[in-house]
């Protein structure tokens, strides 16, 4: 039908990203009865935090669920991390909200931007408690997607990300 939106569909085995949680694999797509209404749900296993989530297929796009990036885009993501930091609000509370909104977007380049900015701020001035928690979580979210894209283990992905962050923090502190 013309004008009708076509929902993005995922199948069992697909690697997907759920903003705020990270990358995972679709374990199952099945019908579930909820309050007398049958809806199709997909079950996603988020590896890095050992979590399983169920999302109505019709809400997947609205929830920001998307496919994991391909290997070609990994270099672009690493390029974002190597770039100069973007301007962030000075107030830690506004900065936290600003970064939370970027993470919520589900855009891997925005997530990489948050990781870089928090790493540099941590090296230069330190982070608030909330920012420290966010930094730890967002690194794992980014590493979980890079793991699938680079076809490496979770530990290898996190180690590569940490090496890159150390490299940029050392480079900036020398300038």
Summarize pLDDT for 141-172 with one digit per residue, the tens: 999 999 999 999 999 999 999 999 999 988 77
- pTM beyond 0.85: yes
Long-range Cβ pairs for the range 86-92 (8 Å, 24+): 86/113, 86/117, 88/117, 88/121, 92/128, 92/130, 92/131
Confidence of residue 134 (pLDDT cuts 50, 70, 90): very high
Q: How far apart are CA 165 and CA 158, in angstroms?
A: 10
Question: Per-residue pLDDT averaged across 100-122, rounded?
Answer: 95
pLDDT reported for residue 173:
59
Q: Residue 37: which CATH number?
A: 2.40.10.170
End-to-end CA distance of the chain: 59
Least trusted range by pLDDT, from 2-11, 60-69, 77-86, 124-133: 2-11
Q: Do the Cβ atoms of 103 and 153 come closer than 8 Å?
A: no
Edge-to-edge strand list for the sheet holding 66-67: 51-56, 37-46, 22-34, 15-18, 66-67
In a domain, 53, yes or no: yes
**Residues ≥6 apart with Cβ < 8 Å to 95:** 88, 89, 131
Confidence of residue 175 (pLDDT cuts 50, 70, 90): very low
**Residues 87, 134: one domain?**
yes
**Residues 75, 62: one domain?**
no
Question: Per-residue pLDDT averaged across 108-118, rounded?
Answer: 96
Q: How far apart are CA 58 and CA 82, in angstroms?
A: 37
What range does the domain containing 39 cover?
15-67
Q: Work out how many domains the chain is built from and give that number.
A: 2
pLDDT reported for residue 66:
94
Which of 33, 67, 101 is the last residue before a domain boundary? Answer: 67
């Amino acid at each position: 039908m013309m004008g009708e939106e076509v929902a993005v569909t995922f199948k069992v085995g697909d690697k997907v990203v759920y903003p705020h949680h990270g990358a995972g694999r679709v374990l199952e797509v099945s019908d579930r009865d909820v309050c007398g209404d049958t809806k199709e749900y997909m079950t996603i296993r988020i590896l890095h935090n050992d979590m399983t989530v169920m999302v109505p297929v019709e809400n997947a796009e609205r929830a920001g669920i998307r496919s994991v990036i391909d290997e070609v885009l990994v270099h672009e993501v690493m390029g974002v991390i190597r770039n100069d930091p973007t301007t962030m609000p000075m107030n830690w509370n506004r900065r936290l909200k600003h970064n939370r909104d970027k993470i919520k977007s589900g855009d891997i380049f925005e997530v990489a931007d948050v990781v870089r900015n928090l790493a540099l701020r941590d090296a230069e001035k330190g982070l608030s408690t909330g920012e420290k928690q966010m930094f730890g979580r967002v690194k794992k979210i980014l590493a979980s997607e890079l793991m699938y894209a680079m076809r490496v283990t979770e530990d290898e992905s996190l180690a590569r990300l940490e090496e890159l962050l150390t490299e940029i923090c050392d480079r900036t502190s020398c300038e």
